[in-house]
Amino acid sequence: MDGPEILIASLQRAAITDRYGNAWQYHSRSDRHSKVACWGVAFDLLQTSALLRRHVADGQVVLGINHTMRDFATGRQKDLDLVLARPTGDVDPHRTFARLVEQHNIELSSEQRSRLAGLPDCPIGPVGAVLVALEAKATMTAHIRALPRLYDELNSSHLCVHGASRQALAVGFVMINAAARFASSDMNKGDLSGGLVYSEEPQPRSVERTIAKVAEMPRRSNVRENGFDGIGVVVINGKNDGTPFTLVTDAPAPQPGDSFHYDEMISRMANEYDTTFTEI
């Protein structure tokens, strides 16, 4: 799977400039990391599901960015980072999945670019019935304090998705930072010539607690249940000070075969797509 590698490669470059002129690899007020993470998930789903590729090639599926879903029963609204859906109107041929690479400064290897070129290019267009809804969240520092909000935001996502459509597949992606020191953009404003201010994080306890909180998230195995259809957790190590971000594969990061391992999530979602949407 390519998603985690693409995310790490894209976080190497300080591509986000704040109002003081400081450039950041990660900024808490930017959604670039979420966009890159969701793009990588969609890229892996396209490569894994032959049925999804066929639906895209046949014009039966479009991409929606920051799509607002409404819970039919409660009226609750939620903006989803990325959705795959049935089209409901004309599409702009100049707005496509592949063109998001340049728009969001997504870093791809030459091999990944070659594989992308071999896939049918999914247009971005008006969204009809949602088939797959992706929500990406990150916890980079102050993990323990952020746990209630992380849980609430993820939980409201699958509730809204399935409140709008029981058939839709709700996918959650969580990026957790394992670095013991982190330079937050909120703590480093103005002239930084005197050096960065770092926050300290108790590791690996913070990562372990965060994964344990994600594990409390409801998951479903059929449309009569409530919860996410798939959740993937990726653990990274990044100080946000210009030094390289790296992917953490050792424990406490999810291991191959674990429910939250990224590859397991992609395989499960591709299988669920293939069995749920054979007749669209």
Per residue of the chain (280 residues), what is the pLDDT tens digit?
999 999 999 999 999 999 999 999 999 999 999 999 999 999 999 999 999 999 999 999 999 998 888 888 788 888 999 999 999 988 888 899 999 999 999 999 999 999 999 999 999 999 999 999 999 999 999 999 999 999 999 999 999 999 999 999 999 999 999 999 999 999 999 999 999 999 999 999 999 999 999 999 999 988 889 899 999 999 999 999 999 999 999 999 999 999 999 999 999 999 999 999 998 8
Query: Closest by alpha carbon to 168, among 223, 211, 214?
Result: 223
d(CA 129, CA 149) in angstroms, rounded, equals 29
pTM over 0.85: yes
pLDDT score recorded for residue 39:
97
Q: Could you give the 3-state DSSP secondary structure of residue 69?
A: strand
CA angle at 246 for the pair 187 and 173, rounded to the nearest 5°? 80
Q: Are strands 230-237 and 246-248 parallel, antiparallel or unpaired?
A: antiparallel
pLDDT of residue 279: 86
Q: What does each C-alpha distance from 243 to 3, 6, 138, 209 come to in angstroms?
A: 21, 17, 19, 26
5, 8, 30: which is closest to 245 by C-alpha? Answer: 8
Tokens encoding 270? 């591709």
Query: What are the boundaries of each domain within the chain?
Result: 3-276
107, amino acid identity:
E
Q: Would you state the pLDDT for residue 94?
A: 87
